[in-house]
Chain A
Amino acid sequence: MRLSSDQTTLRSEFADDPDMLGIVALFIHELPQRLAAMHTALAASDREQLGMLAHQLKGAAGGYGFPKLGEAAALVDQAIKDRNDDNVVRSRVGMLAAVAARIRP
């Protein structure tokens, strides 16, 4: 049975770049904290903070070799900019968390 694409693991596009090893590992290590902060902001309906966190991830994830993560963060960022309702924002944060969960060192 083939795994659906949603369950494949994601590795950094720069996993073989010795210059990038250190900061990619740090990025992966810190990712759970970043997501936790986003969930906290979501629970507190702090859209400004959530938007800032999503925006930073959107700008940086691609640079660390995780473009899919960047795209998922962009959707959160966009939902906040578009003033979508909480359900949309929550579901997009959920999608972002799902992408993040597939990331492996």
Chain B
Amino acid sequence: MTALPSGLPKVLAIDDSVLIHRLLQVRLQYEQIELFGATSAEVGIKMAQELRPDVVLLDIDLDVKKQGMDGFGVLQVFKSDVDLQDISVIFISATASMEDRVRALDLGASDFVAKPFEVVELQARVRSALRVQHLVKMLAQKAQVDGLTGLWNRTYFDRRLSQEVGEAVRHHRSLSLVMCDIDGFKKLNDERGHPFGDKVLERLSKILQSGRGSDIACRYGGEEFGIILPNTVGSEAVEVADRYRRAIEQEVWPTMPGTVITASFGVADVFALTGTPTPEDFISAADTALYRAKQNGRNRVEATAMTPLLG
């Protein structure tokens, strides 16, 4: 699970005047931020791409002749770049008319500060932009996390899998997918009640998350999980899956003494697929292996295009 980025939030000031940069450095020195500065549009855009700042303080009056673009131009570059479009941009200007302010806000700026700054106001506006930014990031992450288990959800799984398949093909890197399904989950729910079923889902999710840091465990749906294993060949993925299988089998359930929960696993290696692999082919290959694990008695690991090794 990647958490929200740690460390101090980053603020980038883009202004052609060194006087303003010095002033900001002093005036924002007690804020819980890391402050960076650029004196031209070009450098500012480059730094934004590298640093991914939370907030940008942007001079609207950058000299178009010298800089190639003014603050509006820089803002438009930000808004048309998927990696930069969520940055909160606070415009700063010594001249801006009402029309300029409206234009800036309509282009997606989140706030406006007039030069010369009122110090407390500047600080408050930066803090406010950072608060909004924090919430935006949290919401973006929440929309991709499964509420019950805390694993990545199906939306994230689909996006990430197609991304990983693309990279594996492009860079010829190994990639495996493990699909996991809890054995007899419906019966379990019916006999022991849904609260216990939920507990099982939560505990198993913890186990599936406890593996190697690079593995991406997702809730695929209901009682099915998908684990993406970058840089991992099929035989390694089988070993990883079997570790999970054993850990689940050995889990003790204090509220239901004597209960043993098991799960079945299907493993696919992206390069065992024929033709150009697509995410859909990849999932269906792992699903086929999972189906075979169920057919062959459950609580086992099966892999496509490989002799069953473990179980």
Residues of A participating in the B interface, judged by any CB pair closer than 8 Å? 19-20, 22-23, 26-27, 48, 52, 55-64, 67, 70, 74, 77
Contact = CB atoms under 8 A, between A and B. Distances in A.
Contacts of B27: 63
Contacts of B93: 59
Given A20-B26, A63-B23, 4 more contacts: A23-B26, A52-B66, A59-B61, A60-B19
Contacts of B116: 59-63, 67, 70
Contacts of A26: 22
Nearest to B93: A59
Contacts of A57: 19
B260 interface: no
Contacts of A70: 116
A59 B17 CA distance: 9
Contacts of B16: 52, 56
Contacts of B22: 23, 26
Interface of B: 16-17, 19-20, 22-23, 26-27, 29, 61, 63, 65-66, 93-95, 115-117
Contacts of B23: 23, 60, 63-64
B115 A63 contact: yes
Contact of A58 (B26, B29, B94): B94
28 contacts: A19-B26, A20-B26, A23-B23, A23-B26, A27-B19, A48-B65, A52-B16, A52-B63, A52-B66, A55-B61, A55-B95, A56-B17, A58-B94, A59-B19, A59-B20, A59-B115, A59-B116, A60-B19, A60-B23, A62-B116, A63-B20, A63-B23, A63-B115, A63-B116, A64-B19, A67-B116, A70-B116, A74-B94
A74 to B, nearest CB: 8
Contacts of A62: 115-116
Contacts of A56: 16-17, 19-20
B65 A60 contact: no
B198 to A, nearest CB: 55
Nearest to A23: B22
Nearest to A20: B26
Nearest to A70: B116
A48 B65 CA distance: 10
- Most chain B beta carbons < 10 A, residue from A55, A60, A70: A60
Nearest to A64: B23
Contact of B94 (A20, A48, A59): A59
B99 to A, nearest CB: 15
Contacts of B61: 55, 59
A17 to B, nearest CB: 9
B63 to A, nearest CB: 6
A76 to B, nearest CB: 13
Contacts of B17: 56, 59-60
Contacts of A64: 19, 23
B100 to A, nearest CB: 14
